[in-house]
Structure 1
Amino acid sequence: MQHELIDVLIVEDENELAQLHAELISKHPRLRLVGIASSLADAQVQLERKQPQLMLLDNYLPDGKGITLISNPMLTRANCSVIFITAASDMDTCSQAIRNGAFDYILKPVSWKRLSQSLERFVQFAEQQRVWKIVDQQNVDSLYQLQAKNYRQDNGSKGIEENTLARVQTLFNEKAAHCFTVDEVVSETGLSKTTTRRYLEHCVEAGFLTVEMLYGKIGHPRRMYKRSAA
């Protein structure tokens, strides 16, 4: 049986991060990217025009805060759920997002695995809502458990090829004190940017690398990768 695709809108003004999110969405057979908005105003236009079922929403945008969009009646009318992805670690912002029904709240720097798991849980959540027209208590409990599920601990090694991983790890072992950008790793290894991102995030999840954030203006951190201390 063919399932309907879930339309996803990315609201993120940091281009590198938006592309990382877009790549995750493109890899999921049930998700379809319908747009990337880099401002609050653009997000509102695309929300109305494209009617996505899910929005990955940043908080710090050039023309305002994404949290204001969560409480906007437009979001309710569009029947759109939100995964809130932000550097905002204050409890007021977190509480406001939860009160307004955010499906998930993910702090930057974003973990590739953490976001992947959140997207997978949303797909399951949407599918169960579609199938269960009438619910009993067990169904309701299952839906709530999906929204607050404990995250699986796995090695995150799916799609990771040993020789390519060794090439990335060798670079960081040889220059253990250096903080690399994605572009620098691309230049040093000759890998594509997409492949490089995937292997860097795998190394972070495995504890081989750490991520440091280089902050320019608010909301525009750059991810810097460094060899973890032995």
Structure 2
Amino acid sequence: MHHELIDVLIVEDEHTLAQLHAELIGKHPRLRLVGIASSLAEAKVMLDSMQPQLVLLDNYLPDGKGITLISDTQIIRANCSVIFITAASDMDTCSQAIRNGAFDYILKPVSWKRLSQSLERFVQFADQQRVWKIVDQQSVDSLYQLQAKNYRQENGSKGIEENTLALVQKLFTDDAERCFSVDEVVSETGLSKTTTRRYLEHCVEAGFLVVEMLYGKIGHPRRMYRRVAA
């Protein structure tokens, strides 16, 4: 099946951030960047002329709030989806974004992994909408699931608890040069071995720790964990 490109408009007034988003879009074989707007006014002009299918929308813009664009008839008419990317952590903004059908809501500072997962899901979402002309309950459910994927499991961070994570991370922050084995972390934190392993791997995935293999005596190399150099 021939897959069309999806046109994306970035609305973001911080130049470096806009460039990073652009880079992420550029790396995706199915996405095409059609423009970068740094104000609401520019965004409205580009929406009209570019007709994008997806907008990465920042909330705090020099001439107003991005959230006002979400309920704008222009976006609704353009049949365009929105991934809201914002430092706005207030529930009002969030629920307004949800009520107006934002595809996703990502808080700044942006996790690149989180944003690229969101873009990937949007591509699948757009494809499925093209494939299914008529929906049944199952297809509707899977579209809603694509829209609201449960991240906690996806990141392998199931059961990651803030205080425990802080405890583990503190160990590495206090002694940034040192390599710890699982057993050493166990004895420093008093956590069980399984729990320790889960948290260490979570930290590796999050880019906080790096694994080094220690080839010691005969037998398996040991996984050693160290703080990623800042």
Q: TM-score, normalised by structure 1?
A: 0.69
Shift of 1:2: 2.8
1:15 equivalent in structure 2: 15
Matched with 1:46 is 46
TM-fit CA distance, 1:205: 2.6
Give, in whole Å, the separation in 2 of the partners of 1:208 and 1:68.
40
Equivalent positions of 1:54-73 (< 5 A) are 54-73=54-73
The one-letter code sitting in structure 1 at the alignment partner of 2:155 is Q
Segments of 5+ residues of structure 2 without an aligned counterpart are 157-175, 178-202, 211-226
SS at match of 1:206: coil
Distance 2:205 2:34 in 1: 29
Give secondary structure in 2 for the equivalent of 1:46: helix
In 1, the alpha carbon distance for the partners of 2:66 and 2:204 equals 30
In the aligned structure 1, how far is the partner of 2:94 from the partner of 2:59?
A: 11
How far residue 10 of structure 1 moved from its aligned partner, in angstroms, is 0.1
- Cα-Cα RMSD: 2.3
Query: Where do 4+ consecutive residues of structure 1 move more than 6 Å?
Result: none
Give the C-alpha shift of residue 228 in structure 1. 7.1
Q: Is the Cα contact below 8 Å between 2:8 and 2:31 reproduced in 1?
A: yes
Say whether residues 1:116 and 2:116 are aligned partners.
yes
Deviation, structure 1 residue 206: 1.6
Tell me whether 143-152 or 82-91 shows the greater mean CA deviation.
143-152
How far off its partner does 1:132 sit? 0.1
What is the rounded CA distance, in whole Å, between the counterparts of 1:34 and 1:99 in structure 2? 27
Using the alignment, how far apart are the partners of 2:69 and 2:205 within structure 1?
Answer: 31
Which amino acid is the alignment partner of residue 207 of structure 2? A
Q: What are the superposed Cα offsets for residues 16-59 of structure 1, whole Å, 9 maximum, x if unpaired?
A: 11011001100111100000000000000000000000000000
Summarize deviations over 1:118-160 as a string: whole Å, max 9, x none.
0000000000000000111110110011011123227xxxxxx
Relative distance call for 1:204 and 1:66 in structure 2 (3 A) is farther
Q: Which letter does structure 2 place at the counterpart of 1:153?
A: N
Q: State the aligned residue count.
A: 168
Instruction: Supply the distance in 1 between the matched residues of 2:205 and 2:139 (Cα, whole angstroms).
Output: 36
Task: Tell whether 2:13 aligns with 1:2.
Answer: no
Report what 2:155 is aligned to.
153
**Hey, what's the Cα distance between the residues in 1 that align with 2:204 and 2:135?**
42
Work out whether residues 207 and 228 of structure 2, in 8 Å CA contact, stay in contact via their aligned partners in 1: no
Give secondary structure in 2 for the equivalent of 1:143. Answer: helix
Residue deviations 1:66-116 (CA, integer Å, cap 9, x gap): 000001000011101000000000000000000000000000000000000
Q: What is the CA distance between 1:203 and its match in structure 2?
A: 8.1
Aligned in 2, Cα 1:203/1:65: closer, same or farther, shift over 3 Å?
farther
Aligned to 1:206: 207
State, as a whole percentage, how many aligned pairs show the same letter.
81
Instruction: Spell out the pairing of 1:127-166 with structure 2 (5 A cutoff).
Output: 127-151=127-151, 152-153=154-155
TM-score by length of 2: 0.69
- For residue 206 of structure 2, give the secondary structure of its aligned residue in structure 1: helix
- Could you tell me which amino acid in structure 2 is paired with residue 117 of structure 1? Q
Larger Rg: 2
Task: Quote the Cα distance in structure 2 between the aligned partners of 1:208 and 1:81.
Answer: 35
Provide, for residues 183-221 of structure 1, a one-character-per-residue CA deviation record: whole Å limited to 9, x for no partner: xxxxxxxxxxxxxxxxxxx98932149xxxxxxxxxxxx
Closer, same or farther in 2 for the Cα pair 1:203/1:20, shift >3 Å? farther
- Give the letter for the 2:109 counterpart: P
Relative CO higher for 1 or 2, CA cutoff 8 Å, sep ≥ 6? Answer: 1
Distance in 1, matches of 2:17 and 2:204, equals: 17
Gaps of 5+ in 1: 155-172, 175-201, 210-226
Q: CA distance change for structure 1 residues 41 and 119 in 2, over 3 Å: closer, same or farther?
A: same
Aligned match of 1:220: none
Mapped contact 2:13–2:37 kept (Cα < 8 A): yes
Letter of the structure 2 residue corresponding to residue 77 of structure 1: R
